[in-house]
Amino acid sequence: MGKLVVIIKVFPKDININLDNLVETIRKNLPPYYEIKKYEKVPIAFGLSALVLSITMPEYVKGGTEELENLIRSLDEVSEVNVEYVSRI
């Protein structure tokens, strides 16, 4: 079975949210078949930054990236989630 890499941009609800802690919260809440390979903080505007996560996942997951998006979006610290890119690896 193949794997996918999914690039996701995560916007925090508040400018005061620690993005490093947010990554760890996301990591702890994801099922084991999702793995955060790397992340970076990207400035948006007026001191607000977003996270860009590179996450690997199985190629054949029912609903594609929908489960992953919903898991991240359900966290209290997260405002919005955008899938930027999906590729088979």
pTM summary value:
0.88
Average pLDDT of the chain?
92
11-41 confidence digits (pLDDT tens): 999 899 999 999 999 999 999 999 999 999 9
Other beta carbons less than 10 A from residue 45's beta carbon: 6
Looking at the structure, give the CATH architecture of the domain made up of residues 3-88.
2-Layer Sandwich (3.30)
Q: How far apart are CA 20 and CA 35, in angstroms?
A: 16
Confidence category of residue 2, pLDDT binned at 50, 70, 90:
confident
Residue-level pLDDT at 53: 97
- For the chain, the domains span 3-88
Mean predicted confidence (pLDDT) in 66-83: 94
